[in-house]
Structure 1
Amino acid sequence: MNEQENVQLVRQGYDAFKKGDIPGLLQLFADDIAWTLDKIEQVPFSGQRRGKDQVTEFFKLLDENMHPLQFDPQQFIAQDDKVVALGHAVWSVKSTDRRFESDWAHVFSVQSGKITSFREYTDTAASAAAFREPGPDVAI
């Protein structure tokens, strides 16, 4: 596939995600996809995964823990087998009812018409703070 076809594949994935079509999204992935987010304490879907089964679990945990209030891929940059998507998101954490927002970068690798890897770069501190339960007030 050429760079524009790779971008189209990634766009198709975002469209499926935004529609809640996770089975359709998973069909775009290689069976042994490498899926990487930074590990964040108290964020159950963070960290590394490999393969469609583990990525399916990622989307299940994401849905159980957060609700997207805004999720906008805004720019796509392609070179060779890489596609970088830049965007912005606002999320609500279900357990704490806190919101956080962040710009993000997603880096995809595409081979033979399938997404073979995904890496997210985002504001991990904002995410961690939104998942943290409020502590007791400290008297001064």
Structure 2
Amino acid sequence: MSIKENVQLVKAFFAAMGSANEHDLLALAAEDIEWIIPGEGWPLAGTHRGHAELAAVLKKASEAIEMTYPKPPEFVAQGDRVLVVGVATGKIIATNKPFRDDWVFAITVRDGKVAHIQEYIDTQALARASQMDVSGLA
């Protein structure tokens, strides 16, 4: 695929995520997709592999986090790699604590599908927003 086609694929993948359209999202992802979300102490951290885990982490995200994107992300591509640069604001639902996350997704496209995602995110801001107070209350 061309660089332009790779960027369009990644844009379609992000649109499917944003609309919570699992069918379209899975159609754009390789069967063996690997999505690495760094950090500890917040609900989405970990390595998620395959369609089932992709669907599960997106379901978990929709239940655990309210997120908005104050401006459209930037897409930078070379070869089979697309970097998506953006910012998200929101809150962790369980704690009701807000966060701001400046992020980069490094995405690899293989055979016309999203095959690998490595997130670079503000893990400290997300862990802080996920942390319960000592009393167990947010």
State whether TM-score is above 0.5: yes
8 Å contact kept, 1:66–1:92: yes
Cα distance change, pair 7–56 in 1 and its aligned pair in 2 (3 A): same
Judge conservation of contact 1:73–1:85 (CA < 8 Å) in 2.
no
Q: Which amino acid aligns with 1:83?
A: V
1:90 counterpart SS class: strand
Letter in 2 for 1:101: R
Runs of at least 5 residues in structure 1 that lack an aligned partner in the other structure = none
- The CA deviation string for residues 33-57 of structure 1, in whole angstroms up to 9 with x for no partner, is 011011312x232110111111111
CA distance, structure 2, for counterparts of residue 18 and residue 72 of structure 1: 14
Match of 2:120 in 1: 121
Q: Tell me the SS of whatever aligns to 2:133.
A: coil
Percent identical pairs in the alignment equals 32
Q: How does 1:60-71 map to 2 (within 5 A)?
A: 60-70=59-69
> Highest CA radius of gyration, 1 or 2?
1
Separation in 1, partners of 2:108, 2:91: 29
1:69-125, Cα deviation, whole Å (9 max, x unpaired): 336442111111100000010121110111101110001100111011011101000
* Contact map agreement 1:73 1:86 (CA 8 A) in 2: no
Number of aligned residues: 135
CA distance in 2, matches of 1:99, 1:131: 9
2: distance between equivalents of 1:23 and 1:119?
22
Runs of 4+ in 1 over 3 A off after TM superposition: none
Equivalent residue number for residue 32 of structure 2: 32
Identify the residue that residue 44 of structure 1 maps to in structure 2: 43
CA distance in 1, matches of 2:63, 2:43: 10
Q: CA RMSD in A?
A: 1.4
